[in-house]
A = this chain, B = another copy of it.
Amino acid sequence: MAAVSGDLYVEVQMFYARQIAMLDDGDFEGFAGTFLPDGVFRPAGGRAEVCGREIIAKASEAASDRFDGAQPRHWFDMLRVTPEANGGIRTNYYAAISITASDGSTRWEPTCVVEDELVRVDGELASRSRTVVRDDLPSR
């Protein structure tokens, strides 16, 4: 397995921390703005892929209806970062989503495995694509 510098790995982790805090805190335009203008989001369960910031923002907001006002938090782990010859970066990681309600209860959604393509634009990372595979669905 090719070595990855600590600097790059940490840059990817901080990119996700910033990106996901916007998603979890309901800043759907901010979240979508971390994708390329023609970025692609491939959700789990065979649902149609979503392309472009405006549509990613709308789809993310629509998907958040399931939280019903409770607070979601995404948890990533087992991150692998693979630089590619063309300058892009592939990543692969586990994702879990906790949902904390105002009564203090916390429940967990099905775990997922996610694959991303990242690119560097003007020195900053951006998401070219995200592909989510849920551990409870037969498509995995």
Residues from 61 to 105 in A contacting B, C-beta threshold 8 Å: 71, 73-81, 92-94, 96, 98, 100-105
B104–A106 CB distance below 8 A: no
How many copies the complex holds: the figure is: 3
Query: Which residues in B have their C-beta under 8 angstroms from that of A98?
Result: 96, 108, 111
Question: How many residues from A make CB contacts under 8 Å with B?
Answer: 49
A26 to chain B, nearest CB (A): 12
Q: 9 extra interchain contacts, Cβ-Cβ under 8 A, other than A13-B79, A104-B110, A104-B136?
A: A1-B124, A6-B6, A10-B10, A14-B80, A17-B77, A17-B79, A71-B111, A103-B136, A105-B110
- A residues in contact (CB < 8 Å) with B: 1, 3-11, 13-14, 16-18, 20-21, 71, 73-81, 92-94, 96, 98, 100-106, 108-111, 124, 135-138, 140
